[in-house]
Amino acid sequence: MTSYRLSKGGQIDRATTLPFTFDGRSFNGHGGDTLASALLANGQQLVARSFKYHRPRGILTAGAAEPNALMTIGTGGRTEPNTRATVQELYAGLEARSQNRWPSLSFDIGAVNGLLSPFLNAGFYYKTFMWPASFWEKVYEPLIRRAAGLGKATNEADPDAYEKAWAHCDLLVVGSGPTGLAAALTAARSGLRVVLADEQPAFGGSLLSDTAALDGLAATEYVARCVDELRSLPNVKLLSRTTVIGWYDSNVFGAVERVQKHVAVPASGQPVERLWRIAAKHAILATGAEERPLVFGGNDTPGIMLAGAMRTYLNRFGVAPGRKVAIFTINDTGYALARDLEKAGVDLVAIIDSRLQSSVPYAGKARVLRNAVVTDAKGGQALSSIQIKQDGRFQSIDVDALAVAGGFSPIIHLACHRGGKPVWSDEQSAFLAPDNLNGLSLAGAAARTGNLADCVAHGSTEALAIATQLGKSGEAISVQVEGDLSGRVEKPLWSIPDNSGKAFVDYQNDVTRRDLDLAAQEGFGHVEMAKRYTTNGMATDQGKLSNINAIALLAEARGVSPAQVGTTTFRPFYTPVSFGALTGAAKGKHFQPIRKSPLHNWAVRNSATFIETGLWYRSAWFARQGETTWRDSVDREVLNTRINAGLCDVSMLGKIEISGKDAATFLDRVYSNGFAKLPVGKARYGLMLRDDGMIYDDGTTSRLAEDRYFMTTTTAYAAGVMSHLEFCSQALWPDLDVRLASVTDQWAQMSLAGPKARTILQDIVDEDIADESFGFLAAREVSLFGGKLRGLMFRISFSGELAYELAVPAGYGESVADALMQVGEPHGICAYGVEALNVLRMEKGFITHAEIDGTVTPADLGLAKMVSATKPDFIGKQMLKREGLSDPLRPRLAGLLPLDPTQGFRAGSHILSKDAAATLENDQGYVTSNAWSPHLQSTIGLALIIRGPERHGEEVVVWNGLYNEFTPGRICDPVFLHAADEKPHA
């Protein structure tokens, strides 16, 4: 509890006080704080527990790579587990809770795992928990699962909104530190359209933590000057709080803008997060470098943080890391921190420098121990001392904070998302992005170690090169820098011997150096295998800090160079992304678009109940007063339709207009049956096959004129058939003169079925529609309401009744349906829904996609006659001849009735021969459709049964073991209502 807020300094707004809580305790922070800086300012250094050993953990970084300081923030539907305190902006009323601890953060029972750690090392679980066999699931796994995970998900829905947007630019600059600002400015001045994205709320990147002077200005003033100019340019889009998460094909970048993650209650009308897809001609990664931790005993003790992070908390947030501070460094950047700490009045007790010499002078008060390393840190929940080894001798120094400067790794994550492999550089002691990436370059510290002036120059020249490439010109930017100590590559220090405590490589997943050694020893020395065996790099930080150390340690264990070990694969996302951001507005009722028929409101007014059918809401039945179950309504609709008449909305059938002088030839090739000879004014039922000979879809097509046809498809395949026909006309037979138009939405279509259908229709149709003039399968344009409206009328039947389908322009659909109901009322008309439609068609043995399931041939469904033997070509013709497709053992369509009409059966039941054992070998087929037929007063079924058509009359068992229903039944003709009852031709 030794970190504290300095009385002055930093870029926080001390005039604004922001109250917040952590584990129920109240604290105050300031505007501009992150949750992490505010916790440190309040002396709260213990903030988390690790995954496996429940080690006490503090704040290690000041950014996206944080492995330790994960907490749950928010409440209710806004609960967010695993939030990194180092990137979460503080707001008034923020509620943060620590995770993975019980009963409390300071007293965590789970820490007993640390004592058991000798047995819980890498891969231990693969070697045990196997006896007795049943114990894994009953005992061991539940115990492991109880301990699993970090934060807890809420069960509540998120009240906030998300959205998606596209951006297009010439140049995307990722990162707004010295390099990114210079790149963006250079490109913008040359006239390129520039997007500058930075994950922080403020632009400036590392400059916000720096005390160097650029062009005589304080770093923050220099940033302000650059940003002001960028803001003034119309060709620049600035995206702050925006993390570029992935690089995708065609140089499209994914990015997430945290629009309102820094407020307690988001303003409505604005999203909390916005997912950007940025299509960029070119991109510059100015993503900087990640500082490396050093691997020594107890290197996870709260109070230890990366040197760059400590400098950020000090300079940007005005937070002192402790009362007695030490710095463990392998390079000169440690001295920049030393200078800044001492200037801020913080007591710096020691600098432990692994080198014999540093290249910068140090005139401060701290002891400088050269050629020295920290071997161990002690203190448990709060750092109390460090053990130092210098020239073979050990000494201990009491400190409460330790900065660790282990060198830098360029942040090349995005550059490797499209398959490029990082390349090891001995000169840079780091993995660099591969060369010659198409459309992407890296600049500044993301490309190579350099000082501030180098970064500015590099960013600028890279941008200039792109501008030139895109036909623009400009000038490179350079700056004069004072007080900058960065810039030299030093020999890395991968392993530090003589630790007594655990030396962590992956903090969050508790992977130690010993674990990696063991992986190599057991044959898992390949970097990918070591990762999978030890879980190194698999935590929420995805190895941002740990991977490089793990690779180097594996290299040491195997006696090879890091180049030979190589890296694991960088994959999206750079930092984790919420489901909400990726979903945008497509949630709840808006998950998928809703399609409503032009007759929807008519159906609503007639008390329809709707069901989802694909994207459609279809009227399923129309309940009337006194009807208590859906079956009451459906039975009435079915009976009434057969006795009087029924009106059904069939607008959702796919409707395609086909025209052109070769339309007849075209139809002949896409249907398996003949269409060329169809007379004008007639409709015909057709089957479409796939290339493999199976039925694809069915429907009717009518010839309205010599060169004009009107096709209907099933509802489910409407879009598919349209695409298919377009494919046929454009890709297969572009020489045919055929034009296609989808007119599904242009027509409201209704089916009027029943003995009184003609009488009712004649009331609104101007032409005579008597059988002689409008016979079975007639299809013509008709005049309605005394010439007020034109429609299309087809005498086709899906019910076995005298039936017509009438199509009218969609906008008139409701009125026409109302009119039909009105004129039909004296004749007893009723509305019927898709349920009754299904009963009516099943009673006649007509098929739907319940039967056409993609694995049936025309012959399977008794439609062999619909395959032309004479046409030279139609889709599916050749593959239909394969031997297996005429195998007599293929299941074929048959009807099915229960022996006892009061017994039902369900679709999906299988068929067994009477007295046959219930085995797969005895399986005879299955029920495709079932319904209650009010005419037969029995359940009826359609089924695909082996040799079905030859077995009419055979008794079988309709077997539904899933529901414990075993119904004796009889195979029968699939047409349940026979010619005597048939009226479509009447």
Partner 1 sequence: MASLISCPHCGSRPKEEFEIKGAALPRPAPDAPQSEWFDHVFLRENPRGRYDEYWHHAAGCRRWLVVTRDTASHEVEACRDAAERVPA
Partner 2 sequence: MRYSAFSVFRNALDKHRGWSSAWRFPEPKPHYDIIIVGGGGHGLATAHYLAKEHGITNVAVLEKGYIGSGNVGRNTTIIRSNYLLPGNNPFYELSLKLWEGLEQDLNYNAMVSQRGVLNLYHSDAQQAAYTRRGNGMRLHGVDAEMLDRAQLKTMLPFMDFDNARFPILGGLIQRRGGTVRHDAVAWGYARAADARGVDVIQNCEVTGIRRENGRVVGVETSKGFIGCNKLGLAAAGNSSRVAEMAGLKLPIESHVLQAFVSEGLKPFIDHVVIFGAGHFYVSQSDKGGLVFGGDIDGYNSYAQRGNLAIVEHVAEAGLAMIPALSRIRYLRSWGGVMDMSMDGSPIIDCTPIDNLYLNAGWCYGGFKATPASGFCFAHLLARGEPHSVTRAMRLDRFERGYAIDETGRGAQPNLH
Please list, residue by residue across 408-447, b when 16 or more beta carbons sit within 10 angstroms of its beta carbon and e when fewer do: bbbbbbbbbbbebebbbbeebbbbbbeeebeebbbbbbbb
> In whole angstroms, how far apart are CA 482 and each of 6, 213, 219, 452, 479?
25, 5, 10, 9, 10
Query: CA–CA separation, 976 vs 926, rounded Å?
Result: 18
Which residues, 269 to 328, sit near partner 2 by CB under 8 A? 275, 277
Span from 14-22, 306-314, 319-327, 919-927 in contact with partner 2 (CB under 8 A) = 919-927
By the rule CB under 8 A, 854 interacts with partner 2: yes
- Sole binder of partner 1 in the list 269, 734, 786, 888 (CB under 8 A): 734
Residues of span 938-967 touching partner 2 by CB under 8 A:
959-963
Q: Measured from the CB atom, is 132 or 419 closer to partner 1?
A: 419
Binding segment toward partner 1, per CB under 8 A, in 243-251, 640-648, 783-791, 920-928: 243-251
Tokens 């953990």 -> residue:
57
Instruction: Select 734 or 787, whichever has its Cβ closest to partner 1.
Output: 734
The burial of 38, by beta-carbon neighbours within 10 Å (0-12 exposed, 13-18 middle, 19 or more buried), is given as buried
Query: Which single residue is written with the structure tokens 């309504």?
Result: 633
> Does residue 887 bind partner 2 (CB under 8 A)?
yes
Q: Does 156 bind partner 2 (CB under 8 A)?
A: yes
Tokens representing residue 985 in the block: 């031709």
Segment 153 to 172, residues that bind partner 1, using CB under 8 A: 166
When the beta carbons of 259 and 485 are compared against partner 2, the nearer one is 259
Our finding on whether 165 is near partner 2 (CB under 8 A) is no
Min separation Cβ 471 and partner 1, Å: 19
962 binds, among partner 2, partner 1, none (CB under 5 to 8 A by kind): partner 2
Segment interacting with partner 2, rule: CB under 8 A, options 533-541, 550-558, 770-778, 824-832: 533-541
Binding flags for partner 1, 428-457, as an x/- string (CB under 8 A) = ----------x-------------------
Dig out the tokens for 43 from the structure. 């002396």
Contact 939, 897 (CB under 8 A): yes
Which 410-439 residues touch partner 2, going by CB under 8 A? 417-419
Report the SS3 class of residue 240: coil
Interface with partner 2 in residues 71-90 (CB under 8 A): 74, 77-82
- Examine residue 258 and tell whether it contacts partner 1 (CB under 8 A): no
Question: Which C-beta is closer to partner 2: that of 317 or that of 610?
Answer: 610
Q: Are 174 and 168 in contact (CB under 8 A)?
A: no
Position of tokens 């459906």? Answer: 634
User: x/- string (CB under 8 A) for partner 1, residues 654-693?
Assistant: -------------------------------------xx-
731 binds, among partner 1, partner 2, none (CB under 5 to 8 A by kind): partner 1
Both tokens of 35, joined, read 């949750």
By CB atoms closer than 10 A (0-12, 13-18, 19+), residue 726 is middle
Q: Tell me, by CB under 8 A, how many residues bind partner 2.
A: 123
The alpha helices in 770-884, defined as continuous H runs, are 813-824, 834-843
The residue among 147 and 741 lying less far from partner 2, judged by its C-beta, is 147
Angle at 238 between CA 235 and CA 244, to 5 degrees: 120
Binding of residue 547 to partner 2 (CB under 8 A): no
Place of tokens 């934060």: 151
Q: Is 279 in the site for partner 1 (CB under 8 A)?
A: yes
The verdict on 249 binding partner 1 (CB under 8 A) reads: yes
Region binding partner 1 by CB under 8 A among candidate stretches 421-429, 626-634, 755-763, 877-885:
877-885
- 811 is a contact residue toward partner 2 (CB under 8 A): no
* Cβ distance to partner 2 smaller for residue 510 or 814: 510
- Of 582-590, 673-681, 802-810, 812-820: span binding partner 2 (CB under 8 A): 582-590
Q: Which does 578 bind (CB under 5 to 8 A by kind): partner 2, partner 1, none?
A: partner 2
The one-letter amino acid code at 956 reads V
Whether 566 contacts 552, CB under 8 Å: no
Q: Among residues 107 and 126, whose Cβ is nearest to partner 2?
A: 126
By a kind-dependent CB cut-off of 5 to 8 A, residue 279 interacts, out of partner 1, partner 2, none, with partner 1
Residue 872 interacting with partner 1 (CB under 8 A): yes
Residues 85-144 that bind partner 2 (CB under 8 A): 118-119, 121, 124-131, 133, 136-137, 141, 144
The dihedral region occupied by 498, where left means phi > 0, alpha psi between -120 and 50, and beta the remainder, is: left
Q: Which two tokens stand for residue 178?
A: 């010295």
- Say whether residue 737 binds partner 1 (CB under 8 A): no
Please report how close the Cβ of residue 594 comes to partner 1 at its closest, in angstroms.
18
Instruction: Return the DSSP state at 530.
Output: H
Residue 451 site contact among partner 2, partner 1, none (CB < 5 to 8 Å, cut-off depends on kind): none
Please give the Cα distance from 73 to 91 (Å, whole number).
11
- Asked if 726 touches partner 1 (CB under 8 A), the answer is yes
Q: Least separation, in Å, of the C-beta of 244 and partner 2?
A: 12
The SS3 of residue 657 is strand
Q: Which does 877 bind (CB under 5 to 8 A by kind): partner 1, partner 2, none?
A: partner 1
- Binding of partner 1 by 877 (CB under 8 A): yes
Q: Does 736 bind partner 1 (CB under 8 A)?
A: no
Contact between residue 750 and residue 734 where contact means Cβ atoms under 8 Å apart:
no
**CA distance linking residue 273 with residue 85, whole number of Å:** 18
**Residues in 6-65 that interact with partner 2 by CB under 8 A:** 51
Dihedral angle over CA of 768, 769, 771, 777, nearest 10: 140
- Residue whose CB is less far from partner 1, 134 or 250: 250
DSSP letter for each residue of 293-343? P---BTTTSTTEEEHHHHHHHHHTT-EE--SSEEEEESSTHHHHHHHHHHH
- The reply to whether 149 sits near partner 2 by the rule CB under 8 A is yes
Encode 606-644: b = buried (16+ Cβ within 10 Å), e = exposed.
Answer: bebebeeeeebbbbbbbbeeebeeeeebbbbbbbbbbeb
Write the CA distances from 783 to 16, 110, 759, integer angstroms. 76, 82, 16
Q: Measured from the CB of residue 461, what is the shortest distance to partner 2 in angstroms? A: 31
**Which of 6, 397, 885, 975: binder of partner 2 (CB under 8 A)?**
885
Query: Least distance to partner 1 from the beta carbon of 724, Å?
Result: 9
Cβ proximity of 360 and 349 under 8 Å:
no
Phi, psi of 608 (to 5 degrees): -70, 145
Question: Looking at 535-543, 568-576, 729-737, 790-798, which segment touches partner 1 (CB under 8 A)?
Answer: 729-737
Where does this chain bind partner 1 (CB under 8 A)?
A: 166, 248-250, 252, 277, 279, 418-419, 438, 691-692, 723, 726-727, 730-732, 734, 872-873, 877-879, 881-882
